[in-house]
Amino acid sequence: MTDTLSILLFIRTPEKGRVKSRLATDLGDEMAVVIYKSFILDILAMLRNGPYPFTLCVHPPDSREALVDWFGPALTCVPQEGNDLGEKMKNAFVRSFSGQTERAVLIGSDIPDLPMAIIDEAFVALDTCDAVIGPTSDGGYYLVGFRRDSFLPGVFEGIPWGTESVYEKTLGLFHGAGYRVHVLPEWHDIDTAGDLKSLFARNEHSAFRESRTMSFIRENKEHILGHRFS
């Protein structure tokens, strides 16, 4: 059955000055891009150990060669297409559902400690619900998913992306359409040095402790957090 399921991973090519602007403000462009690479490597490790096929939806569109150099050749990459984030996500689902996919979930790349159990829950929920969404602690969402026959393009239109009301407004559009929506556990995306500190604290004793992101924080903790911590 997994050949009818698909994960869409939205990423930016990790180039200096083009990713994680708030982290770059806190830590500098060089460190921000290395941290973002670590995020992607950790997410890819999780996906590669799971049962679901996945596609990288990349920006800028012509960056596949660079991504292969960093993350390996066994990747399915497609360009993000659209004028804003909502249009790009909508088009990614349209592309996926135009093939063999029956259920698809889209995730971002700012959630390096997301476990496979959350994605399992999302796909199971789509057995009985029209859509699934995972809220972030800052008012956005880290995952959204549909069945082919329940895809609702309108939830990507008219949303004030990058604000604290993204999740609330999206959920309102689902409810306005009469959709049965499964809400996943809240998760934390990583945008600032403070977010990195929280990530480290909550994963000191988790399976994520041995990840590339956690290792990088430990190796650079004085610079990243500005003070000693254990």
In angstroms, the CA 139 to CA 17 distance is 25
Q: What's at 185, amino acid-wise?
A: P
Nearest to 43 by CA among 52, 185, 163: 52
- Please report the pLDDT score of residue 51 as a whole number: 96
Range of lowest pLDDT (9-13, 17-21, 154-158, 210-214) = 17-21
| pLDDT > 70 fraction of the chain, expressed in percent and rounded | 96
Question: Which tens digit of pLDDT belongs to each residue from 96-151?
Answer: 999 999 999 999 999 999 999 999 999 999 999 999 999 999 999 999 999 999 99
Confidence of residue 226 (pLDDT cuts 50, 70, 90): low
Tokens 């592309």, residue located: 95
Contact 224, 27 (CB under 8 A): yes
Domain 2-220, classified CATH 3.90.550.10, yes or no: yes
Question: Which tens digit of pLDDT belongs to each residue from 169-182?
Answer: 999 999 999 999 99
pTM of the model: 0.93
Predicted confidence (pLDDT) at residue 2 exceeds the cutoff of 60: no
Mean pLDDT of the chain: 92
Contact 143, 184 (CB under 8 A): yes
- Please report the pLDDT score of residue 69 as a whole number: 80
Task: Quote the distance between the C-alpha of residue 127 and its chain's center.
Answer: 22
Question: Given strand 181-183, what is the order of strands in its sheet?
Answer: 77-79, 54-59, 5-12, 103-107, 141-147, 131-135, 181-183
In angstroms, the CA 203 to CA 123 distance is 25
